[in-house]
Structure 1
């Protein structure tokens, strides 16, 4: 089949994005030889620092291979009629629009999952195992993959069906109804993620009465933060890495602590971490992020509505019979540069919000335990202590550790 101009635009986008990404990775990798920052010498000795740099180097090399494989596979699939083959196979099963779209994306997602499984397995059971992080059993690994697939089928399939129904019934205005639907889903997930989704993968238990719970509740009362739900999640069944997060609104808001966090930090350090999370809520970061996410979704769907009916978009991925599902894939590939730009904006906002949440914790609690907690968590996860500024600008949603410490000590 003859290739149209949009086909070559897609190839150019894929190659340029890959080269830019690899250049940034290369710049970042050159910093792995940097000296240990003096502010962190009290936590990291030279051997531990070298271990963290080696971990970053290992992940860098693995990323070069996995990203390169993904690029070559995508280009081959585009160039040799992979999407056309899937489309023809789908049309041999059904001619109805909705079943066609479900089968088409089902085949592509299944193929992607199967091809990506060895890389995911190696990441978990070789790299993470080698550096002492992995606690995932093979049965948990497979169970997570299966549950994730079922969730994708149910949620993704349901959204796709509604998309097409809106498209069939409202034509070019379908994006407005689709935006309303996606917005409702995003709000629902933000409200009930911890109550409905997390239990599918992890066990959550209320934090037991005791000194830690009393300290958290006392702090929350001091800053006027109504908190009734404090849960502990069994993160240790998958990894030794620690975390804490805030979720929900109103009566559904809750703070979730990883059991590894409780084991690794002192009581004051845990309260300081939670003060940071409360800072996000008090500074309205949750609301702002939600609004920006909804506006970005609306923009994407509006632009989609301008392209979805153009046969050239389907032809761009090698599909000879234009269709909604083929145009959706073509649009996703063509839209990716805009996604990169919105991603940069979101990361910039996120880094700014992290500094503000740190300032809130410093003002309402204490900077010292937050600094020590950040150092411990960074050491525990072997994070990159000297990332390249360009890499940070593009990829980091949180400021580097050294910048956060300097800000807290300012």
Structure 2
């Protein structure tokens, strides 16, 4: 195989991936006007249903535009030898391989973010604003953008530099050291993400004494769940949409409730949602996900080690000097079909875990309150109640609302 053939294989993968997603979106959009199942007939009244239809269709149109822009700009970058240009630009400043890679990815990521920021801005301040979801000020939007850039420089740049040090000193065996490093880093982030990263963007406060906290503590005691960390996060600072999540394990485990969740749901419904999150912990889903993702990462890194030094990858992107960073770009695209398959597998596993967590909440608390909370959350986020099965299979990490209700009622 020569570099020209590999180049067109890469282009083919990009186009096929785009067309596949476009087809799934098309199938899903055809289901928008389907009759709502009887079990979900009480989710929307007539006005709310019309609003949800307009929201779905508006987002679908916007998604087509952004996808078309993304694939067009990407293909132009490939055909006009953009990677060669950025690589040569980075080498004007230094000959150090690590610094060249950092500058290279810095330019690529900054350029990409600049191009996509207008779409993000429109999504937030036009679409989300129109349907009453957005609570973010323009100041917060730009501060978030600045913080994200700083996080990318510090964390992303640091991780890349460490991986390249492994590559320089251990050659083809760099993947083993990188695998260990990423596994340790993942465990660390799982333990301390809520303490170290979340506060950069949001304020977290302990749940106040009162009826809700007493109900939560009573439930936790009933199921033998030691819970000392219940926090409320100011999600309303950015959106009216709501969430709750479990993070950490051992002494670092904590439940985080969005303030919008507390405002939208009754006490029993919030406890039911929390019971679902406790179910994830009791069934060791966090550990399973961590182990499986670590195994998949190790497999990917091993494959990367087999090809990263090949001049063919760099030549395919019109770069004459083989380098780690160019190899990563080419390999990342070539690996994407495998990544798509593993992503589908992880979504299947995640949906199974969601059923298990729902069952735990039903068996230890009350499934009726979980059903009513799920319906309210779907209504408040204008969720799609009739998604296409193929779209669900590929993209959904949770079962559909109908599937979850049928499971809870079974």
Given the two structures, how large is their TM-score scaled by the length of structure 1?
Answer: 0.99
* Distance apart, 1:39 and its partner CA: 1.2
> Which runs of at least 4 in structure 1 moved beyond 3 Å after TM superposition?
none
- Aligned match of 1:170: 170
- Aligned match of 1:359: 359
- Aligned match of 2:87: 87
- Aligned match of 1:143: 143
Cα distance in 1, alignment partners of residues 141 and 155 from structure 2: 21
Q: How does 1:6-405 map to 2 (within 5 A)?
A: 6-405=6-405
Whether 1:5 aligns to 2:5 is yes
**Cα contact 1:314–1:326 (8 A) shared by 2:** yes
Cα distance in 1, alignment partners of residues 45 and 383 from structure 2: 14
Cα distance in 2, alignment partners of residues 182 and 200 from structure 1: 22
**Cα contact 1:4–1:312 (8 A) shared by 2:** no
Q: Deviations over 1:129-153 (max 9, x none)?
A: 0110000000000011110111111
Q: Give the gaps of 5 or more residues in structure 1.
A: none
**Cα contact 1:78–1:318 (8 A) shared by 2:** no
Cα distance in 2, alignment partners of residues 43 and 6 from structure 1: 51
* Distance apart, 1:3 and its partner CA: 5.5
Q: Are the structure 2 counterparts of residues 175 and 3 from structure 1 closer, same or farther at C-alpha, using a change threshold of 3 Å? A: closer
**Cα contact 1:36–1:49 (8 A) shared by 2:** no
Q: Give the gaps of 5 or more residues in structure 2.
A: none
* Distance apart, 1:318 and its partner CA: 2.2
**Cα contact 1:232–1:256 (8 A) shared by 2:** yes
3-state SS of paired residue (2:245):
strand
Q: Deviations over 1:220-257 (max 9, x none)?
A: 11111110000000000100001100001111100000
3-state SS of paired residue (1:4):
helix
How many residues are matched?
409
Q: Deviations over 1:186-241 (max 9, x none)?
A: 11110001000000000000000111101101101111111000000000010000
* Distance apart, 1:46 and its partner CA: 2.3
**Cα contact 1:279–1:357 (8 A) shared by 2:** yes
**Cα contact 1:84–1:319 (8 A) shared by 2:** yes
Q: Deviations over 1:121-175 (max 9, x none)?
A: 0110111001100000000000111101111111111111111111111110000
Cα RMSD over matched residues?
Answer: 0.9
Cα distance in 1, alignment partners of residues 306 and 47 from structure 2: 56
Given the two structures, how large is their TM-score scaled by the length of structure 2?
Answer: 0.99
